[in-house]
Amino acid sequence: MSIGHVLLGLLAERPKHGYELKKEHDQRLAGARPLPYGQVYATLQRLERDGLAEVAGTSQEGGPERTVYAITDGGRAELERWLNAVEPPAPYVAGSLFARVAVAGKAADGYLVRQREAHLARMRELTAEKAAGAPAQVLAADYALQHLDADLRWIETALARMREDDHA
């Protein structure tokens, strides 16, 4: 995910300052890692340098003066390009779950059973969060649940293959 593109998307609605952008990022991308303020401002500076955003003024809403940024025509074109680009499927298997099983081999069955329990516990938490969540939280929970479900199917397949190998 490109933080710059996400910030452009948020700026496409209306000019905003960094604090607003950070807050909206963290609300809309519920479940994602919260965006550090330093990254927001560094990204805004790069967007401005590249002509994708510009300073639109300042605002002082009962606190310190804040620089307000707006998306430029070039920024809108880049945002449109990014939104219409198909995300390529990952070409390589990556992830600590797979790496641990690949390294442990036949000894991974205990790990897989414990991991299955951890996945199921997290799925219960996410399902509970959906009940009272805002739309962005529900979408984030659905996304995470479907990925955890795919992991669970893979865990079951891996356990079955290991059992087959033991009987062969």
The domain spanning residue 57 has which CATH number?
Answer: 1.10.10.10
Q: Could you give the percent of the chain with pLDDT greater than 90? A: 59
Quote the CA–CA distance of 25 and 7 in Å, as a whole number: 8
Query: Is the residue at 150 inside a domain?
Result: yes
pLDDT value for 22: 95
Do residues 161 and 102 both lie within one domain? yes
pLDDT value for 104: 80
Is pLDDT of 82 > 90?
A: yes
Rounded average pLDDT over 66-94: 88
Provide the Cα torsion 81, 82, 88, 91; round to 10°.
Answer: 120
Query: Is the residue at 89 inside a domain?
Result: no
Q: Which domain holds residue 45?
A: 3-84
Cβ 103 vs Cβ 129: under 8 Å? no
Is pLDDT of 168 > 70?
A: no
Average pLDDT, the chain: 89
Residue 92's pLDDT band, with cuts at 50, 70 and 90, is low
| β-pair type (53-59, 66-71) | antiparallel
Q: What is the DSSP letter of 88?
A: P
Do residues 109 and 131 both lie within one domain? yes
Higher pLDDT, 146 or 62: 146
Structure tokens at 133: 């969540």
Per-residue pLDDT reduced to its tens digit, 115-143: 999 999 999 999 998 888 788 888 988 99
Query: Is the residue at 43 inside a domain?
Result: yes
Higher pLDDT, 28 or 166: 28
Number of domains in the chain: 2
- The reply to whether the predicted model has a pTM over 0.75 is no
Q: Which of 15-29, 65-79, 90-104 has the lowest mean pLDDT?
A: 90-104
Query: Is the residue at 90 inside a domain?
Result: no
pLDDT value for 33: 84
Higher pLDDT, 60 or 154: 154
